[in-house]
Structure 1
């Protein structure tokens, strides 16, 4: 009887958990489903506010107009370029800094680590950073969007913790065979760190892809706008107009055009993330418990 009671309590508890998780999952998914449904719905349902989480009067005219704009494709290419260059630079700098400062007998290791951690809590401020960026000639260039913020202290800590947790016996054996620190990094450390590198790379890539504030401050030319800044100008500016647009005889609401732009800017990350998820979870767990 006691075992049956325990099983019933566990079943009731599991059922309650499933219900709560389902509600939370729907609450998280509903905004995106609403955006997607609005972008695929016709003029009248959007105008009357009938669209919830599924399209009504299905149409793709909003996407035809958005993808027909050269400004969107230009912003897409710029964002892809910044994401690729920024992620590569950030990974290289983070790996080199984390590996160097994970070496126990490095002179001044604690001091340099402390200086890096200091920047995590006390930043230079927006105006001094702007003056530095402008002073070194990066203002209104794509370099201003990834060079000043090319390393994250949090990502550095995660990677350094992981490197410190690698077996010292492997490194010692390599040193006995005459391997340099660089050779140890390339031949031993990096092959054993693919999971955490993929995780940190995903952190950086998502950050560069979603960043718009840096472009808002440092970029003036419209042909250098990132996708997120172009999206902002579409959502809060007058690029789409305030009235409905007639596309090939089909009336398209500005709201549908805005939501289509949101989907276009979000879709690449949604496509890439499932392929990186196994590395993401594994890398975060390893980087947090080792060392």
Structure 2
């Protein structure tokens, strides 16, 4: 190796790559901006003197806020409504998304491309809030939990992800099952779905978060207080100061405890589904 090549190699080794450093710094800043508000809510939920400003540790440690929320009977029905809507909506959303995706991978089906274009069209153009409300009113679905579940149970984006995942399943496997006498429905339940656990977990998680955090649909279509979900009640507590001081516990402590309880289910579920979430989205979105 010549002397000039040795000098060039040394310069290359000494050269600092700027992009990875900037990338790491940017992600650290973004992570701090995301985690600080969450940490404040967590700390204030255990702080009997919770108020404005950022405290990194509770000044007066207490679990009274959580005790107030858990023993508040007025929150039981909204929490139950949220659980019912989330479970039923997620199950129905997965059923419709998987069936729709399975239909779209039937390459010999007449009109398959037209159906796909119609579905994609709805991702760009929507009817709007007022026409949707009038449709729900004409269908007599107002003030019914079905009006919350049905419109959100079919998400075209999730359907497209599921279709891409199904397309990754070898066609030879499906053809072999068909030759062995399996009907299309049997192929779907016995072969396609068992091979799609990662996609089902990831898309199911997205559906569950969507239904659990839904607030707008309940405010637009639901008028009966007994059908309000936990998010609507939580908003009433936080924004309308519908939380009295209990003993020496500040009302802000109870409000922050309610926020933590609202996000706690998915804080617990997500770490267990993370590997399926990443794998399912990547396999469904990236083609070789």
Aligned partner of 1:36 among 33, 37, 42 = 42
Aligned partner of 2:129 among 126, 134, 152 = 126
Which residue number in structure 1 is paired with residue 274 of structure 2?
A: 277
Q: Distance in 1 between matches of 2:77 and 2:10?
A: 64
Which residue number in structure 1 is paired with residue 242 of structure 2?
A: 239
In the TM superposition, residue 83 of structure 1 has moved relative to its aligned partner by 0.4
In the TM superposition, residue 137 of structure 1 has moved relative to its aligned partner by 2.1
Aligned counterparts, 1:48-87, within 5 A: 49=52, 51-87=54-90
Q: Distance in 2 between matches of 1:11 and 1:120?
A: 40
Aligned counterparts, 1:97-112, within 5 A: 97-112=100-115
Aligned counterparts, 1:173-252, within 5 A: 173-240=176-243, 245-247=245-247, 250=248, 252=249
In the TM superposition, residue 196 of structure 1 has moved relative to its aligned partner by 0.8
Q: Distance in 2 between matches of 1:142 and 1:14?
A: 49
Q: Distance in 1 between matches of 2:20 and 2:151?
A: 48
CA contact (8 A) 1:133 1:148 kept: no
Q: Please state if 1:25 is matched with 2:31.
A: yes
Segments of 5+ residues of structure 1 without an aligned counterpart are none
Aligned partner of 1:89 among 82, 86, 92 = 92
Q: What whole-Å deviation, never above 9, does each CA across 1:120-167 have from its counterpart, x for those lacking one?
A: 111111111112212222211111111122100100111111112211
In the TM superposition, residue 67 of structure 1 has moved relative to its aligned partner by 1.7
CA contact (8 A) 1:33 1:54 kept: no
Q: Please state if 1:168 is matched with 2:168.
A: no
Q: Distance in 2 between matches of 1:212 and 1:88?
A: 20
Q: Distance in 2 between matches of 1:263 and 1:111?
A: 45
CA contact (8 A) 1:35 1:263 kept: yes
Q: Quick check: 5-14 or 98-107, which moved more? A: 5-14
Distance 1:180 1:234, change over 3 A: same
Distance 1:5 1:57, change over 3 A: farther
Greater than 4 Å deviation, 4+ residue runs: 1-20
Which residue number in structure 2 is paired with residue 146 of structure 1?
A: 149
RMSD: 2.1
Distance 1:9 1:148, change over 3 A: same
Q: Distance in 1 between matches of 2:17 and 2:121?
A: 49
Aligned residues: 282
Q: Distance in 1 between matches of 2:20 and 2:13?
A: 10
Distance 1:4 1:231, change over 3 A: farther
Q: Distance in 2 between matches of 1:157 and 1:32?
A: 32
Segments of 5+ residues of structure 2 without an aligned counterpart are 1-6
Secondary structure, aligned partner of 2:107: coil
Distance 1:246 1:192, change over 3 A: closer
